[in-house]
Amino acid sequence: MTVTHTLYRYFGIVGAMIEVGAVVGAVVWAAGLARSRTSAVSARRWAVAGAACLVLAHALFWLLVNPVNQAFAAWTPAAVPPDWTRLRDQWEFTHAARAGLFLLGFCALLASVLTAPPRLSGWRRGETTG
């Protein structure tokens, strides 16, 4: 408990900002491709799949990780409940599942970027707009 209370003290602040930024960025990217008339259907699908993976990973945090975090915060080294291993396992397995979802989401978003047409294709050919 001593390690848990000190090891993750600031992770919630920094990690939360990074994670929320990643989810928002993925959703904005997917929405932008969905509105685009020139993006490939496959790019749209990859973007939606990637954003969905990140949103699901974030939802798992609130549904399965955060309740355990709240329980951990209330414990002391002298007062750990007898079912602590069940909660620890829920915390660990959910983190592993989230890592897998983040990896899948990243790969899907990367695929969407690689299949989306470049925005500056005319500029690359030397054309100008004005």
From 5, 126, 128, 3, select the one nearest 71 (Cα to Cα): 5
Sites in the chain below the pLDDT cut of 70 = 1-7, 118-130
Both tokens assigned to 6: 């000190």
Q: Determine the pLDDT at residue 122.
A: 47
pTM of the model: 0.83
pLDDT at 87: 93
Where are the domains positioned within the chain? 2-117
pLDDT tens-digit readout, 32-48: 998 887 788 999 999 99
Assess contact for 112 and 50: CB atoms under 8 A.
yes
Q: Give the DSSP letter of residue 80.
A: -
